[in-house]
Amino acid sequence: MAVREDARPLNLALTEEHEMMLTAVRDFAQREIAPVAAEYDESGEFPLETVRMMGEMGLMGIEVPEKYGGAGMDTLAHVLTMIEIAKADASHSTILSVNNSLYCNGILWFGTEAQKREWISPVASGEEVGAYSLTEPMSGSDAGNMASRAVLNGAGSHYVINGRKSWVTSAPFADRIVLFTMTAAEEKHRGITCFLIDTSQPGFSRGKTEPKLGIRASATSEIIFDNYLCPVDNVLGGVGQGFKIAMTVLDAGRIGIAAQALGIAEAAYEAALVYAREREAFGAPIGSYQMIQQKIADMKTRIEAGRALIYQTIIAKERALATGGRYTTEASMAKLFCSEAAAYVTDEALQIHGGMGYSKEMPLERYYRDARITRIYEGTSEIQRMVIARNELGLR
Ligand code: CAA
């Protein structure tokens, strides 16, 4: 990974710029996104209009330098944004996360100057949608074991790509995709190469959009390559470097998912606080009873513990960007803990609301459904535990 010249100081105090961004994002999320979240959840429609607005605000390439069309801010700004957008609607935060963490980061860290100029700007500015494609029908957690293939043509000018990729977030609307596929299957993960894909070219098509339990407005589909011709200039980071790029980018992505989980949990927790104060039973607000108080205390503690892990990971990431090191364990711990905290908090918040929590008239059941994916995508909880334990034990 290229060492960043402008690595930020290791200080998590909010600057004036962070404060301004936080206020603007919070206002926008509550004004434009929260009121339409239930409607998009119900219809499963992709929220193109509000996604474009996020682009206009500079939220689709937060850490991308301004010269490549981004906002030129840091990981803390990205995390603060993810939390606020996820509080309003998890689907929007998924779209934002893929654009920022999984699409832009890879090109920023591994791309040539020409690739950065051509491939980042339209996506970081929000004019186009970006996606990241690693998973296949028969390789999810075992990401290195893929069946799709890219073969160099006789002239040496193009790779011919064939195969099927699955669970590609934003694929139904993506203009550009970072794709991981095999160029030398006998070399296993070292035979994977990353390609920059223009989805308007022949040989590219989309499969059916997945009907999902949660984050229903974030469109997910298969993508199919049928003799797709990819110019050699669109190889990212060198032939055979794909697996390392995929993993490096996922480390950053997992901070985003941890922040998303925290945002969903905060939204559920805040709703539960209001309800515990207002709802009366047996002649008193339910918040006056110790059984509810225990839930409130445990929810709040898990949220703040999750935030502390995310902040520790931000520091580790900024340090790694300056030194060329890694923050894999920290990112996996933050993602693991926050996604499990979100499961706990959304479940307890729904329980505090009783029957009303189960009703679609309130957002609790949506928070509960939306939180579920955070334990699955960008590496399941089981994979995060495996990564943490292997690193701790010094195993491979
Ligand atoms: N950063 C840089 N390099 C890394 C790395 C990291 N975080 N993790 C591993 N590597 C390198 C290793 O150093 C090793 O390098 P060498 O070739 O030099 O030896 C190589 O990658 C292979 O590593 P492992 O032996 O550990 O690989 P593995 O196959 O045993 O396991 C894994 C790797 C951690 C389980 C990995 O496959 C993994 O993370 N799986 C989960 C995949 C995942 O998260 N998928 C989600 C896709 S995105 C998504 O969810 C959809 C969406 O759009 C939101």
Mean per-residue pLDDT, 280-288: 98
Predicted local distance difference test score (pLDDT) of residue 165: 98
Q: What number does the ligand 1 atom closest to the CA of 134 have? A: 47
With cut-offs at 50, 70 and 90, classify the pLDDT of residue 217.
Answer: very high
Q: Going by CA atoms, what residue is nearest to atom 12 of ligand 1?
A: 244
pLDDT per residue over 184-198, tens digit each? Answer: 999 999 999 999 999
pLDDT per residue over 321-380, tens digit each? Answer: 989 899 999 999 999 999 999 999 999 999 999 999 999 999 999 999 999 999 999 999
Q: May I ask the CATH class of domain 16-128?
A: mainly alpha
| The token pair that represents 54 in the structure block | 């996020």
With cut-offs at 50, 70 and 90, classify the pLDDT of residue 2.
Answer: low
Predicted local distance difference test score (pLDDT) of residue 13: 87
To the query of whether residue 32 is one of the catalytic residues in this protein, the response is no
Q: For residue 6, is pLDDT > 80?
A: no
Predicted local distance difference test score (pLDDT) of residue 8: 53
Candidates 29, 91, 76; CA nearest to 54 is: 29
Mean per-residue pLDDT, 126-155: 96
- Could you state, in order of their start, the residue ranges of all structural domains in the chain? 16-128, 132-242, 244-393
Q: For residue 3, is pLDDT > 80?
A: no
The mean pLDDT of the chain is 96
Predicted local distance difference test score (pLDDT) of residue 11: 63
CB count in 10 Å sphere of residue 207: 16
Q: For residue 144, is pLDDT > 60?
A: yes
Q: What number does the ligand 1 atom closest to the CA of 250 have? A: 44
Which amino acid does the sequence have at 186? E
| The token pair that represents 184 in the structure block | 């030398």
Most informative mutation of 105, 166, 179, 244 for ligand 1 (most atoms within 8 A of CB): 244
Mean per-residue pLDDT, 28-42: 98
Q: May I ask the CATH class of domain 244-393?
A: mainly alpha
Beta-ladder partners of 151: 160
Predicted local distance difference test score (pLDDT) of residue 12: 78
Catalytic entry in 118, 361, 378, 382: 378
Q: 330 CB under 6 A from ligand 1? A: no
Candidates 359, 338, 339, 364; CA nearest to 271 is: 364
pLDDT per residue over 219-271, tens digit each? Answer: 999 999 999 999 999 999 999 999 999 999 999 999 999 999 999 999 999 99
Predicted local distance difference test score (pLDDT) of residue 81: 98
Q: What number does the ligand 1 atom closest to the CA of 251 have? A: 7
Most informative mutation of 247, 335, 381, 391 for ligand 1 (most atoms within 8 A of CB): 247
Q: Give pTM, 2 decimals.
A: 0.96
Separation of CA 241 and ligand 1 centre (Å)? 12
Q: 384 CB under 6 A from ligand 1? A: no
Superfamily of domain 132-242 in the CATH hierarchy: Butyryl-CoA Dehydrogenase, subunit A, domain 2 (2.40.110.10)
Task: Go through 264-292 and write b for each residue having 16 or more CB atoms within 10 A of its CB, e for each that does not.
Answer: bbbbbbebbbebbeeeeeeeeebbeeeeb
Predicted local distance difference test score (pLDDT) of residue 9: 47
What percentage of residues in the chain have a pLDDT greater than 90?
Answer: 95
Q: Going by CA atoms, what residue is nearest to atom 11 of ligand 1?
A: 244
Q: For residue 396, is pLDDT > 90?
A: no
Separation of CA 335 and ligand 1 centre (Å)? 15
Can you give the chain as a three-state secondary structure string? CCCCCCCCCCCCCCCHHHHHHHHHHHHHHHHHHHHHHHHHHHHCCCCHHHHHHHHHCCCCCCCCCHHHCCCCCCHHHHHHHHHHHHHHCHHHHHHHHHHHHHHHHHHHHHCCHHHHHHHHHHHHCCCCCEEEECCECCECCCCCCCCCEEEECCCCCEEEEEEEEEEEECHHHCCEEEEEEECCHHHHHHHEEEEEEECCCCCEEEEEECCCCCCCCCCEEEEEEEEEEEEHHHEECCCCCHHHHHHHHHHHHHHHHHHHHHHHHHHHHHHHHHHHHHCEECCEEHHHCHHHHHHHHHHHHHHHHHHHHHHHHHHHHHHHHHHCCCCHHHHHHHHHHHHHHHHHHHHHHHHHHCHHHHCCCCCHHHHHHHHHHHHCCCCCHHHHHHHHHHHHHCCC
CA angle (370, 172, 362) in 5-degree steps: 25
Mean per-residue pLDDT, 54-79: 96
